């Protein structure tokens, strides 16, 4: 059996840890390779897209992309992405999904709280509160004591 990817810290708030795992999943999604994904035989006559890094709008030390994710990060991503459908409230799930979009060079969320609030017709404070509520919903559903011994491997401390 491989190393268990998520470590539950009983001394800390589980919703807070869920939020951290969602943030890590967003970064992992951004750093997954996006090349070589076409079906065999498919091609394009268009030239490669040249990124104009000046249009990205932030100060950065380097133009390098974020490093590719490790196997452990991808394994944690797989687990965390199974949590999103557990959120039954559409607006909460929407906020979580929007925060899962991260720019692959800067590592910043493409949907800042104010933009999420504007898109959903609410304030940025409310949008952030909805995200925290979504983390609490997930935490309630994945509580370590709510799992059978077979499923609790996600929280094994190795």
Convert the pLDDT of each residue in 120-139 to its tens digit. 999 999 999 999 999 999 99
DSSP for residue 145: G
**Structural domain of 75:** 14-31+64-155
With respect to residue 104, please indicate whether it lies within any of the assigned structural domains.
Answer: yes
With respect to residue 55, please indicate whether it lies within any of the assigned structural domains.
Answer: no
Model confidence at 7, pLDDT cuts 50, 70, 90, reads confident
| Number of alpha carbons in the 13 Å side-chain half-sphere of residue 130 | 25
With respect to residue 5, please indicate whether it lies within any of the assigned structural domains.
Answer: no
With respect to residue 3, please indicate whether it lies within any of the assigned structural domains.
Answer: no
With respect to residue 56, please indicate whether it lies within any of the assigned structural domains.
Answer: no
With respect to residue 37, please indicate whether it lies within any of the assigned structural domains.
Answer: no
Residue of higher predicted confidence among 27 and 35: 27
Q: Is the pTM of the predicted complex or chain greater than 0.85?
A: no
How far apart are the C-alpha atoms of 98 and 23, rounded to whole Å?
A: 11
What's the whole-number mean pLDDT along residues 85-110? Answer: 92
Mapped onto helix, strand or coil, the DSSP state of residue 153 is helix
With respect to residue 52, please indicate whether it lies within any of the assigned structural domains.
Answer: no
Say whether pLDDT at 38 is over 50.
yes
Count: domains in the chain: 1
How far apart are the C-alpha atoms of 84 and 142, rounded to whole Å?
A: 12
Residue of higher predicted confidence among 146 and 130: 130
30's tokens: 């951004």
With respect to residue 59, please indicate whether it lies within any of the assigned structural domains.
Answer: no
pLDDT tens digits, one per residue of 41-87:
555 566 555 555 554 555 555 556 677 888 899 999 999 999 999 99
What's the whole-number mean pLDDT along residues 137-157? Answer: 62
């Amino acid at each position: 059996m491989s190393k268990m990817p998520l470590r539950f810290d009983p001394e800390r708030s589980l919703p807070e840890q869920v939020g951290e795992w969602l943030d890590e999943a967003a970064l992992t999604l951004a750093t997954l390779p996006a090349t070589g994904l076409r079906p065999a035989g498919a091609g394009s006559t268009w030239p490669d897209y040249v990124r104009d890094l000046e249009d990205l709008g932030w100060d950065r030390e380097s133009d390098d992309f974020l490093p590719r994710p490790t196997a452990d990060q991808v394994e944690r991503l797989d687990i965390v992405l199974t949590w999103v459908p557990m959120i039954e409230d559409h607006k909460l799930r929407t906020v979580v999904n929007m925060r899962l979009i991260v720019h692959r060079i800067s590592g910043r969320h493409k949907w800042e709280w104010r933009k999420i609030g504007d898109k959903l017709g609410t304030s940025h404070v409310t949008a952030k509160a909805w995200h925290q509520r979504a983390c609490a919903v997930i935490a309630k559903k994945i509580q370590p004591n709510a799992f059978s011994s077979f499923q609790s491997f996600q929280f094994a401390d190795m």
